[in-house]
Amino acid sequence: MPGASGVNVESSCEALCRTLVSQNGLQRETADISQSVLYTSLMGLLLVTDDEKEQLTLGSGRVGLRNIGNTCFLNAIVQCLSHTRGLRDYCLLKSYRHEKFSKEEAKLMEAFSQVLLGFWDVNEGDTVVNPRQFYNIFREAVPYFSGYSQQDAQEFLRFLLDKLHTEINRRPYVRRTGKDPEQKYTRFRISEEAAAMWKKHLERDDSRIVDLFSGQLRSSLHCSVCSHYSNTFDVFCDLSLPIPKKSFSGEVMLRDCLDLFSQEEKLDKENSPMCERCNRRTECTKRLSIQRFPQVIVIHLNRFTTSRWSISKSTVYVSFPLTNLDLGPYGPVDCGPVLYDLYAICNHAGTVNMGHYTACCLDENGWCYYNDSSVTPVSENQLQTNQAYVLFYQRSNSTATIRK
């Protein structure tokens, strides 16, 4: 990032931070505002808007990817990520080079950015990009993917984001000591406890990937013996949702999957964690909710179920909104509407063993269907099929989101 504009962004961010802090009475304990979570998040946003957008002259992005042997899972996911603006612009401008957090070369990031450059080059010399170099570097980093068999797109996405994050982590040299000792935050309110956990996370893991994709899940436990409530908070980069069997109306909506995901679940003694008050395992109920909403929410419709002997695939049609998906009801109490718009879909057609991945992505001129090397425009009413597997939503009302 060029010196002058960097300073501007930082000072405007700091000023905005201070205003928000004084208005909301947050952060009493930190004098150094640049260390706060609020500051980091705002910087993430400001860097995208101020620094990156204006410097780019882009082509259409409507370029396919060669299938180099069962690589449709990779092609579909890379297209979805290529349409994730905050990530695309960061890659095209090679912003990670200027950030220089780690001394090690960001090999995978370089190769990934090279693929995106092929897509978005304004001269559009290529009609197809070959992902071989990127894939080779990825497989070196993640040997799990070294076979030639079909791989799961969702798994690939998780591994890819994780590896990219590691390379561009802004805290590369903070020692990881495994799991933290259990901390007791009982004197805090839930939101303060959650904020403390999030801050702890950012102290070790903080990158553009985190700015965009990371959120926080809350799991609340209620002991049925002593009625004690407790919460645990986990960072997530995607929501993996169960698909209900057909409902009475015959149609399953994304909302039904979310309801099932966040529905109270009874845990018997064997499967429940220790109750802090009873000091033993007891029957309890567990509920999941979203404590902190990410900029981009990746929703995985979990179509594959592994039983003892086999994997089966659900082909239930799940309808999902293209705009204004409201996740507010799955967030903290009284958080109001939290709206998201769809911009990419990764589809899976076929069976467990014989399947094919494709993608539908939105750009400034509409939706396109990406099937390996072929790219064709597609209309909105063709987007919803029973093949939808991973949905990418971008937050649309993110400016009004600083909660106490």
**Which positions lie near Zn ion, rule CB under 5 A?**
223, 225-226, 228, 275, 277-278, 282
Q: Quick one: 139 or 269, whose CB is closer to Zn ion?
A: 269
Q: Quick one: 225 or 311, whose CB is closer to Zn ion?
A: 225
- The least distance separating Zn ion from the CB of residue 226, rounded to whole angstroms, comes to 3
Please say whether the beta carbons of 107 and 167 come within 8 A: yes
Please say whether the dihedral angle defined by the alpha carbons of residues 205, 209, 210 and 216, taken in this order, is positive or negative.
Answer: negative
Structure tokens at 68: 């180099």
Please say whether the beta carbons of 64 and 44 come within 8 A: no
The CA distance from 81 to 79, in Å, is 5
Question: Is 228 among the catalytic positions?
Answer: no
Torsion of the alpha carbons at 395, 234, 318 and 385, rounded to the nearest 10: 70
Q: Quick one: 262 or 282, whose CB is closer to Zn ion?
A: 282
Structure tokens at 299: 């929703």
- The least distance separating Zn ion from the CB of residue 230, rounded to whole angstroms, comes to 9
E-strand stretches of 179-276: 215-223, 229-236, 239-241, 252-253, 265-267, 274-275
- The least distance separating Zn ion from the CB of residue 185, rounded to whole angstroms, comes to 18
The CA distance from 284 to 336, in Å, is 29
Q: Quick one: 7 or 225, whose CB is closer to Zn ion?
A: 225
Marked catalytic residue, from 222, 228, 335, 356: 356
What is the DSSP secondary-structure string of 91-144?
HHTTHHHHH--SSS--HHHHHHHHHHHHHH-TT---SEE--HHHHHHHHHH-GG
- The least distance separating Zn ion from the CB of residue 281, rounded to whole angstroms, comes to 9
Marked catalytic residue, from 72, 91, 237, 257: 72
Question: Is 13 among the catalytic positions?
Answer: no
Q: Quick one: 111 or 267, whose CB is closer to Zn ion?
A: 267
What is the DSSP secondary-structure string of 314-375?
----EE--SS-EE-GGGSSTT----EEEEEEEEEEEE-SSSEEEEEEEEETTEEEEEETTEE
- The least distance separating Zn ion from the CB of residue 275, rounded to whole angstroms, comes to 3
Please say whether the beta carbons of 77 and 109 come within 8 A: no
* Residue 294 amino acid letter: P
- The least distance separating Zn ion from the CB of residue 223, rounded to whole angstroms, comes to 3
Q: Quick one: 107 or 277, whose CB is closer to Zn ion?
A: 277
**Any idea which residues carry the catalytic annotation?**
72, 356
